[in-house]
Amino acid sequence: MTTTSQDNAGVILPPPVLYLAAVIALVVLRWFWPAPIFSVSTFALYAGVLLGIAALALGFWAVLALRMAGTNVDPRKTSTAMVTVGPFRFTRNPIYVGFTILYLGITLALNCWWGLALLVPTLVVMHVGVIRREEYYLERKFAADYLRYKNRVARYVGGLTTG
Neighbour-count burial of 15, counting CB atoms closer than 10 A to its CB (0-12 exposed, 13-18 middle, 19+ buried): buried
pLDDT digits over 37-92, tens only? Answer: 998 789 899 999 999 999 999 999 999 999 999 999 999 999 999 999 999 999 99
Q: What is the pTM of this model?
A: 0.91
Write down the pLDDT at residue 157: 84
Q: How far apart are the first and last CA of the chain?
A: 38
